[in-house]
Structure 1
Amino acid sequence: MSKEGAGVDLDKSLGYLLKEASTALRVAMEEVLRPLGMTVTHYSCLELLAQRPGMSNSELARGAFVTRQSMNVLLQALERDGYVARPAEAAVGKVLPAQLTPRGRQSLEEASAAVRAVEVRMLAGMTENEQESAFRALRSMIHSLRGPA
């Protein structure tokens, strides 16, 4: 098939390759999290709360790359199932800051080990220097895209 008139060569499109890598990572993470009764978003929420207790629904949604509505539904389920606790009433405004429960922490420990194994597998073909270079390059791309246009 001729590439004449074609747009971007996907094999040479960094954006496409990043999306493909992101999708492959998400699929691999879902595979190891599913037996633990979790999704990637569920895991991300628990991980964010472990690192920054008391985050609001909006902050969690941004951190997990989902809508506020989706995060609200997830938080309600996590609270119902005993993974997180939120106050019955907001101390200020409408914010109900979430905290991990002991069950949430235990579940996160198992999930973190499974996700770390996926990351180790993803980086297995790279030397330590190549891994450091990849981290630097990705951080630089993020910084460039978030900076002034």
Structure 2
Amino acid sequence: MTADAPDRTTASRATDRPRGATPFALGLLLRQAHWRAATVMMEALRPLGIELRHFAVLIVLVDRGPTVQRDLAAATGSDKAGIMRVVDDLERKGLAVRKSVPGDRRVRAVEITPQGVELFDAAHVAAESLAERLVAALGPGEPEQLRDLLTRFAYPSGGEA
């Protein structure tokens, strides 16, 4: 480094300060937002006996119907072993079942049970006031704006996962 050149190493270091200007600031901010939302939503799920990873699979099953484990893993950001453990848990709890896929004996589709649908609905009722608490500091229209921005950020091509 010469005397005329600015010291760029300290200017670009990531910090956890809000509104950080480093290239990593957005990722850190999204991570903090995720932790806050996950912590609040776990309050709704804990009394129901499930975790966020279980609920993520239930969301996919309600949205898509019976889904093969490979697609569940992709939709929830899980790996093959992780999704197998979650589906095992859901089966033990009576919330989902594995069923054979016609024409392919090796593949099993996961389907939500009526008990799983009941729990899914109960979780939404329990989470409603907690979700409102999450966005309480935002102004009118901002929760919708945040959802829109995050959707466009997560799915830049306009598609969904």
Normalising to structure 1: TM-score of the pair?
0.82
Q: Tell me the residue number matched to 1:107.
A: 119
**Gap regions ≥5 residues in structure 1:** none
Tell me if structure 1 keeps the 8 A contact 2:97–2:113: yes
Structure 1 pair 115/44, CA: closer, same or farther in 2 (3 Å)? farther
RMSD: 2.3
Normalising to structure 2: TM-score of the pair?
0.76
**Farther off after superposition, 132-141 or 48-57:** 132-141
Pairing 1:137–2:149 present: yes
Question: What is the deviation of 1:124?
Answer: 1.8
Pairing 1:8–2:4 present: no
Spell out the pairing of 1:41-60 with structure 2 (5 A cutoff). 41-60=53-72
Q: Tell me the residue number matched to 2:41.
A: 29
Question: What is the deviation of 1:68?
Answer: 1.7
CA distance in 2, matches of 1:118, 1:66: 26
**Residue of 126, 142, 146 corresponding to 2:138:** 126
Code of the residue aligned with 1:52 in structure 2: it is R
Tell me the secondary structure at the aligned position of residue 72 of structure 1: helix
Deviations 1:51-76 (A, max 9, x none): 11111111112222221211112212
Aligned-residue identity in percent: 25
Could you say which structure has the greater relative contact order, defined with CA pairs below 8 angstroms and 6 or more residues apart?
1
Query: Matched residue pairs, number?
Result: 143
Q: Tell me the residue number matched to 2:103.
A: 92
Structure 1 pair 82/125, CA: closer, same or farther in 2 (3 Å)? same
Structure 1 pair 128/58, CA: closer, same or farther in 2 (3 Å)? farther
Structure with a larger share of its residues in strand: 2
Question: What is the deviation of 1:16?
Answer: 1.0
Tell me the secondary structure at the aligned position of residue 85 of structure 1: strand
Larger Rg: 2
Deviations 1:94-116 (A, max 9, x none): 22111111111111111122233
CA distance in 1, matches of 2:147, 2:36: 18
